[in-house]
Structure 1
Amino acid sequence: MRVVAGKYGGRPLKTLEGRTTRPTTDKVKGAIFNMIGPYFDSGRVLDLYAGSGSLAIEAVSRGMEAAVLVEKDRRAQAVISQNIKMTKEEQCFQLLKMDSGRALDLLSDPFDLVLLDPPYAKEQIAADLEKMAERQLLSEEVLVVCETDKSVRLPEEIAGLGIWKQKNYGISKVTVYVR
């Protein structure tokens, strides 16, 4: 796995061995950013189920200013820390070592890009977005990217956001919500 494009493009990323996380393939990651960008002029990104951190690192590589990565698994946290170190711009990243619910209770500033790839997709994505809207964590121009199994059917609208784009990539489905 590697950073696909941007200022860190081509740099290798570590992944977590085992079944506790499902790393997004480089092909799907490239497709996601081609759908929503592919580059950004600034902004803040939240990766609520960070895994290896590759999606948030890709977003910063492509122009986001800062990223908050949330991960509760200790082994995944170690991988994220190594991947952040690889960027040589650790000041752009904040790793919150906790579960998503606790993180959402602590966060206070809005995000321009939200990345959601939770283990139990449909119910979790809806609950997370409702809570983010309630806590005013979504900017006016927010893009919310949800990665799920292709069999998962997400609601057309959640928390004042509607589906803008949706595409299947092998066993994965990418759904993008906007206001």
Structure 2
Amino acid sequence: MRVIAGDCKGRPLKAVPGMGTRPTTDKIKESIFNMIGPFFDGGQGLDLYGGSGGLGIEALSRGMDHFIFIDKDQKALQTIKENLKQCKYEEKAEIFRNDAKRALKALHKRELQFDMIFLDPPYAKQMLLKDIEEIGKLNLLADSGSIVAEHGSEVTLPEKIGDFELIRQETYGKTTTISIYKRN
């Protein structure tokens, strides 16, 4: 795993030890950023299932200003910290140990909105539909923002979820699908 483009291009990233997380491959990560815009002119992002932090760190490397990483696994949080330090992005990030539902409510209390939200939960624990509904209900996505959901290919997400519309969907191999939502 590595940072693919931007300020930290080529910098290696650590994976979370053990089998509890499934890192996004470099090929899929590159495809995601080709779909959502390869570089950014600032903005705030959220990685709700942080894992190794690879998606959020890639966004920071490509120009995002700030990212919040959430994960409930202590090993994942430690890996995110190490990867942020490796890229010298500690000042551009916040890391919280929490489950997704409670984290979304806490972010709403802070009156935050995000230009980009990554949802990449472990395949066995698909909560995407509920997460996207909650993001809409709590108004956490900026008007021009994107929700990028990575999920198993066997999972079918609807064309519309609340105020959000599926604008693009790509499947990679037999196991991984990327679904991108924006406000209608």
Normalized against structure 2, the TM-score is what? 0.93
Structure 1 counterpart of 2:32, one-letter code: I
Aligned residue number for residue 88 of structure 2: 88
Distance in 2 separating the partners of 1:163 and 1:122: 21
Cα shift readout 1:19-64 (whole Å, capped 9, x = no counterpart): 2101000000000000111111111110000100000000111111
Aligned residue number for residue 66 of structure 1: 66
Give the superposed CA RMSD.
1.3
Cα shift readout 1:107-140 (whole Å, capped 9, x = no counterpart): 0310000100112579611111111112111100
1:29-178 to structure 2, matched below 5 A, reads: 29-107=29-107, 108-119=111-122, 124-170=127-173, 171-178=175-182
Q: Tell me which moved more, 115-124 or 126-135.
A: 115-124
The answer (yes or no) to whether the contact 1:122–1:154 under 8 Å persists in 2 is no
Aligned length: 179
Measure how far apart 1:76 and its partner are: 0.9
Structure 1 counterpart of 2:133, one-letter code: E
Q: Percent identity?
A: 46
CA shift in 2, pair 1:3/1:28, >3 Å: same
SS in 1 for 2:46: strand
The answer (yes or no) to whether the contact 1:121–1:152 under 8 Å persists in 2 is no
Return structure 1 stretches of 4+ with deviation > 4 angstroms.
Answer: 120-123
Runs of 5+ consecutive residues of structure 1 not aligned to the other structure: none
Cα shift readout 1:146-172 (whole Å, capped 9, x = no counterpart): 001111100111121111111111121
Distance in 2 separating the partners of 1:155 and 1:121: 19
The answer (yes or no) to whether the contact 1:14–1:52 under 8 Å persists in 2 is yes
Structure 2 counterpart of 1:19, one-letter code: M
Aligned residue number for residue 5 of structure 2: 5
Normalized against structure 1, the TM-score is what? 0.96
The answer (yes or no) to whether the contact 1:121–1:148 under 8 Å persists in 2 is no
SS in 2 for 1:33: helix
Distance in 1 separating the partners of 2:96 and 2:29: 22
Q: Tell me which moved more, 25-34 or 95-104.
A: 95-104
SS in 1 for 2:127: helix
The answer (yes or no) to whether the contact 2:70–2:103 under 8 Å persists in 1 is yes
Distance in 1 separating the partners of 2:76 and 2:131: 21
SS in 2 for 1:29: helix
Runs of 5+ consecutive residues of structure 2 not aligned to the other structure: none
The answer (yes or no) to whether the contact 2:17–2:75 under 8 Å persists in 1 is no
